Amino acid sequence: MQEGLKLIAVALAIGLGALGPGIGIGLLAGRALEAIGRNPEAEGKVRTNMILAIAFAEAIAIYALVVALIIKFT
């Protein structure tokens, strides 16, 4: 019983923890492509900021993975 609840907690931690960054990265990429389409001269600045923001969003998903692993192995 205890092990089953632990596995459910792990699944929820990584599942919900990856859901937000996944949606955020999708929205971010869409808006960046829209910005580049409207102003092609600003492509370099938009791309640089987009990659930085994607890295920050992905870090949140990695934190969720770490929490899930801590739950699983403790």
Distance set, CA 14 to CA 21, 38, 48, 53, 74 (Å): 11, 36, 28, 20, 16
The helix/strand/coil state of 34 is helix
What pLDDT score was predicted for residue 74? 87
pLDDT at 1 over 80: no
- Topology classification of domain 2-73: F1FO ATP Synthase (1.20.20)
- For 26-67, write each residue's pLDDT tens digit: 999 999 999 999 999 999 999 999 999 999 999 999 999 999
What pLDDT score was predicted for residue 5? 92
Measured distance CA(56)–CA(34) in Å, rounded: 21
